[in-house]
């Protein structure tokens, strides 16, 4: 039986084995490195966002974001605490769950960025472009949003307690009322009064906001103004067909605006103040429980 030739193709072309080895070596020195270089050069722009996401956040990553646009970069879960990213172009960037607490993002372009559940607590976002950004669950507490560009209602599902630079036009009625409830629950009554006032401007027929402002004013010692708010809420509830709640509010308004007479055998002003405080507490506590609850969006 005829034995098949096991010669390599290069030998069939008339190349000797020595010349073949030389040709292969030349190929390794020239063509292969060139191919690898081209491959890496072509893929680097595609790999860069993933590399940035996988790399530990540090000065190198921050410098990269400062020097060149990073639109659409994948930076989920990146640690960028206190990063200086002023005027950075991060449009459409994937920044879910990233930590940008106390970062400097003044003038940054974050339009269309995914910032869901991202921490921007204490960050400076003055003049930043946040139009179209996804802000569900975003922590913006104590941040500076002065002159920031936001879509109407963009903060509906975010946390912005203590943020500065926000105008009332950024919020709808329910957001303003709920902010007042939250501030009142934390004992920040002047802030609560402001939020309830803004809510009343949006929806003056909402009795709950009048009650909220009345309670907040009473806690600050403005009993006459508080009584006016409670009486206004009572009128609205009467018009809405809830006479029992209206009567309760009028009783509370009377209790806080007319101190009780000095009791016989009492100990003067101290006893009068304690009696008046007890009356106000007993009158307002049920109202607070009933009315000072967050509204559903």
Q: For the chain, list the domains and their CATH numbers.
A: 57-154 (2.160.20.80), 173-291 (1.25.40.10)
* Beta bridge mates, 144: 124, 164
The whole-number pLDDT of residue 286 equals 61
Is the pTM here over 0.85, yes or no?
A: no
Residue in the block written with tokens 């018009």 = 239
Distance between CA atoms of 215 and 292, rounded to whole angstroms?
9
Closest of 100, 143, 148 to residue 124, by C-alpha: 143
| CB neighbours of residue 142 within 10 Å | 16
The whole-number pLDDT of residue 265 equals 42
Closest of 127, 65, 126 to residue 95, by C-alpha: 65
Distance between CA atoms of 19 and 28, rounded to whole angstroms?
14
The whole-number pLDDT of residue 20 equals 42
Distance between CA atoms of 94 and 53, rounded to whole angstroms?
9
Angle among Cα 219, 224, 228 to the nearest 5 degrees reads 100
Give DSSP secondary structure letters for 4-16. PP---HHHHTT--
Residue 213 CA from chain centroid, whole number = 25
* Residue 16, burial from CB neighbour count under 10 angstroms (0-12, 13-18, 19+): exposed
Distance between CA atoms of 70 and 45, rounded to whole angstroms?
11
| Assigned token pair, 111 | 């339009």
The whole-number pLDDT of residue 292 equals 66
**pLDDT per 10-residue tile (average), the chain, 297 residues:** 42 41 46 45 46 50 79 92 94 96 97 97 97 96 95 88 84 89 91 94 94 93 94 95 92 82 39 39 58 62
The whole-number pLDDT of residue 58 equals 63
The whole-number pLDDT of residue 68 equals 80
The whole-number pLDDT of residue 152 equals 85
Distance between CA atoms of 208 and 240, rounded to whole angstroms?
12
Q: Report how far apart, in Å, the C-alpha atoms of 94 and of each of 78, 121, 144, 195 are.
A: 10, 18, 22, 33
The whole-number pLDDT of residue 86 equals 95
The whole-number pLDDT of residue 54 equals 44
* Angle in degrees, 0-180, between the axes of helices 269-291 and 207-219, rounded to the nearest 10: 150
* Angle in degrees, 0-180, between the axes of helices 173-185 and 207-219, rounded to the nearest 10: 30
The whole-number pLDDT of residue 59 equals 74
| Spatial CB neighbours of 242, under 8 Å, sequence gap ≥ 6 | none
């Amino acid at each position: 039986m005829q034995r098949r030739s096991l010669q390599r193709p290069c030998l069939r072309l008339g190349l000797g084995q020595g010349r073949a080895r030389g040709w292969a070596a030349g190929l390794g020195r020239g063509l292969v490195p060139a191919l690898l270089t081209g491959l890496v050069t072509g893929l680097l722009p595609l790999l860069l966002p993933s590399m940035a996401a996988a790399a530990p956040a540090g000065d190198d990553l921050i410098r990269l974001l400062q020097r060149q646009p990073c639109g659409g970069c994948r930076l989920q879960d990146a640690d960028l605490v206190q990063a200086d990213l002023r005027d950075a172009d991060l449009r459409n960037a994937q920044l879910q769950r990233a930590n940008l607490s106390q970062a400097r993002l003044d003038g940054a372009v974050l339009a269309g960025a995914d910032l869901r559940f991202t921490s921007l607590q204490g960050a400076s976002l003055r003049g930043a472009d946040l139009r179209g950004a996804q802000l569900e669950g975003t922590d913006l507490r104590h941040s500076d949003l002065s002159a920031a560009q936001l879509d109407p209602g963009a903060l509906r599902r975010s946390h912005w307690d203590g943020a500065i630079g926000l105008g009332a036009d950024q919020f709808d009625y329910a957001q303003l009322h709920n902010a007042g409830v939250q501030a009142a629950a934390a004992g920040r009554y002047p802030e609560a009064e402001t939020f309830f006032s803004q809510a009343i401007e949006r929806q003056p027929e909402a009795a709950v906001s009048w009650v909220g402002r009345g309670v907040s004013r009473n806690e600050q010692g403005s009993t006459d103004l508080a009584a006016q708010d409670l009486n206004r809420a009572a009128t609205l509830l009467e018009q809405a067909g809830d006479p029992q709640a209206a009567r309760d509010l009028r009783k509370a308004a009377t209790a806080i605006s007319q101190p009780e007479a000095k009791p016989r055998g009492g100990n003067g002003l101290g006893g009068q103040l304690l009696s008046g405080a007890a009356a106000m507490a007993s009158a307002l506590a049920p109202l607070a429980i009933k009315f000072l609850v967050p509204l559903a969006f």
